[in-house]
């Protein structure tokens, strides 16, 4: 029996063969420390420099604006806490959305414990933040607004550029967590108007344990961990050279494959949706119908729980209820709750996310498996 079809690309992606290949020399002969001044160090340093260039190109930044981190969580922590550390006494107000990943939500709560005011902007029924809702909470002491680019559960894409048009004239910094959107849709930090942007390697075919923070030149920010002066003094610690090299190659591949990949992902996503909707009356989409990640299908099945459905279909499909990070609990996802999705509807929700290694046959097999499981449970 073959493995179940993997439809959990929003949790993590496989490593692209080109990425693994490029990393191998740095796990073997080229083990140098980029800070060493001998030949091995120089070789490692050059590899890190090239990767920085590749990551910068993916998002329209300059290499000097890229800080490699251990993961997206760390990049988000550096963005929020690092900006907070650099902001003056009179600027201690932070704005986030109600659907942020815990990697933004938790540092925001930490700042609240330190005496910061934190405003949480609501979303509509499709998971979108209204720019006017952000405008309504901005204050003279607002230091930073952090609104994710695309949601990890329902895939809704936020109007970040419109929000930037509000924050920029007021000299308020804007951060966006693009862990889910990078490599899936085009990102240009100039067009988005953001000052800080988070990337996660393992969401676009690099390895786990590598991320990056884009920091626009001139953005006031301080380190939140302390040590030597790697990464422009913002992230001390010897660089994870193999993972950084892998991230660079993944960024180059994403750059080369977009926008064709976007179209292909959307085709698979919509084929899956069509198959399920044709066979199961009452299947409903969660998230925005159009302003949504091209690979993400978050749907509610009637009369069953998502957990039971995935259990019964587990031989055919490997997917998540929502975010993989908290899918062990039966509580309604915070994202769906913020969208006002009612409890019964939320209980039947499943997140199906396709990726570059998906094939037409996978989509059809997964759809058949889910339909059979639903029929079995509702017989």
Question: Minimum Å distance from CB 160 to ligand PLP?
Answer: 13
CB of 141 to ligand PLP, least distance (A): 26
The closest of 39, 9, 379 to 184, measured between CA atoms, is: 9
5-6/317-318 β-pairing: parallel
Q: Which CB atom, from 79 or from 253, has the smaller least distance to ligand PLP?
A: 79
Give residue 282's region: left, alpha or beta (phi > 0; psi -120 to 50): left
Tell me the C-alpha to C-alpha distance, in Å, between residue 241 and each of 13, 168, 208, 210, 364. 20, 35, 13, 10, 40
Footprint of ligand PLP on 313-352 (CB under 6 A): 325
Ranges of H-type helices in 39-120: 39-59, 72-86, 102-113
Give the per-residue contact string, 172-191, with ligand PLP (x = CB under 6 A; - = no).
Answer: -----x-xx-----------
Please tell me the chain's helix, strand, coil percentages from 3-state DSSP, rounded to the nearest 5: 45, 15, 40
In angstroms, what is the C-alpha Rg of the chain? 21
Output the smallest distance, CB 102 to ligand PLP, in A. 8
- Given the complex with ligand PLP, which of 43 and 204 has the nearer CB atom? 204
Question: Looking at 27, 46, 325, 344, which residue is catalytic?
Answer: 325
Residues 58-87 as x/- pattern, contact with ligand PLP by CB under 6 A: -------------xxx--------------
Residues 129-168, interacting with ligand PLP (CB under 6 A): 148, 152
Size of the site for ligand PLP (CB under 6 A): 13
H helices of 158-303, where?
A: 160-167, 189-192, 241-257, 260-279
Half-sphere exposure at residue 263, Cβ-oriented, CA atoms within 13 angstroms: 4
Nearest residue to 353 via CA among 315, 324, 313, 314: 324
Q: How far is the CB of 243 from ligand PLP (least distance, A)?
A: 12
Residue 293 within binding range of ligand PLP, rule CB under 6 A = no
Q: Give the CA distances from residue 83 to residues 14, 108, 178, 180, 312, in Å, rounded to whole numbers and listed in that order.
A: 33, 12, 18, 22, 46
Q: Which is nearer to ligand PLP, 73 or 305 (CB)?
A: 73
Q: Whose Cβ is closer to ligand PLP: residue 179's or residue 283's?
A: 179
CB of 220 closer than 8 Å to CB of 83: yes
User: Of these, 103, 129, 312, 335, which contacts ligand PLP (CB under 6 A)?
Assistant: 103
The correct pick among 52, 101, 235, 351 for binding ligand PLP (CB under 6 A) is 101
x/- contact string, 235-274, with ligand PLP (CB under 6 A)? ----------------------------------------
Rounded Cα–Cα distance for residues 334 and 347 (Å):
12
Q: Which residues contact 262 (CB under 8 A, 6 or more apart)?
A: 184, 185, 186, 294
Give the nearer residue to ligand PLP in terms of CB position, either 123 or 312: 123
Beta strands of 76-195 (E only): which ranges?
93-97, 117-121, 142-146, 173-177
Is 325 annotated in the active site?
yes
Q: Which of 85, 92, 113 is nearest to 219 (CA)?
A: 85
Among 200, 221, 319, 341, the residue binding ligand PLP under the rule CB under 6 A is 200
We find the least distance from the C-beta atom of residue 170 to ligand PLP, in angstroms, to be 26
Shortest Cβ 323–ligand PLP spacing (Å): 6
What is the nearest approach in angstroms of ligand PLP to the Cβ of residue 147? 11
* Positions in the binding site for ligand PLP (CB under 6 A): 71-73, 101, 103, 148, 152, 177, 179-180, 200, 202, 325
Report the catalytic residues.
325
């Amino acid at each position: 029996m073959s493995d179940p079809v993997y439809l959990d690309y929003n949790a993590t992606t496989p490593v692209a063969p080109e990425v693994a290949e490029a990393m191998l020399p740095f796990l073997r002969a080229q083990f140098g420390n980029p800070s060493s001044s001998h030949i091995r160090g120089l070789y490692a340093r050059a590899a890190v420099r090239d990767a920085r260039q590749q990551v910068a190109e993916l998002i329209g930044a300059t290499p000097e604006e890229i800080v490699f981190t251990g993961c997206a969580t760390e990049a988000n922590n550096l963005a929020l806490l690092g900006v907070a550390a650099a902001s003056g006494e009179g600027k201690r107000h932070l704005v986030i959305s109600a659907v942020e990943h815990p990697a933004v939500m938790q540092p925001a709560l930490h700042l609240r414990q330190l005496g910061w005011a934190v405003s949480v902007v609501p979303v509509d029924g499709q998971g979108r933040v209204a720019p006017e809702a952000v405008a309504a909470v901005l204050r003279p002491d607002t230091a930073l607004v952090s609104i994710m680019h695309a949601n990890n559960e329902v895939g809704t894409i936020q109007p970040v550029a419109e929000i930037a048009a509000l924050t920029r004239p007021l000299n308020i910094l804007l951060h966006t967590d693009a862990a889910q959107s990078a490599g899936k849709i085009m990102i240009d930090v100039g067009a988005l108007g953001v000052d800080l942007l988070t990337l996660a390697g393992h969401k676009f075919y690099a390895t786990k344990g590598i991320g990056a923070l884009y920091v626009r030149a001139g953005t006031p920010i301080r380190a939140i961990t302390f040590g030597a002066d790697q990464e422009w003094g913002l992230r001390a610690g010897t660089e994870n050279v193999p993972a950084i090299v892998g991230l660079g190659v993944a960024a180059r591949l994403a750059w080369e494959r977009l926008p064709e990949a976007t179209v292909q992902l959307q085709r698979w996503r919509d084929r899956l949706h069509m198959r399920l909707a044709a066979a199961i009356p009452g299947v409903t989409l969660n998230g925005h119908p159009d302003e949504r990640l091209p690979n993400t299908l978050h749907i509610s099945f009637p009369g069953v729980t998502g957990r039971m459905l995935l259990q019964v279909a587990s031989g055919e499909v490997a997917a998540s209820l929502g975010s993989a990070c908290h899918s062990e609990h039966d509580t309604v996802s915070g994202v769906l709750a913020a969208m006002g999705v009612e409890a019964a509807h939320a209980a039947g929700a499943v997140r199906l996310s396709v990726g570059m290694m998906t094939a037409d046959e996978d989509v059809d097999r997964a759809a058949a498996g889910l339909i059979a499981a639903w029929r079995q449970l509702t017989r």
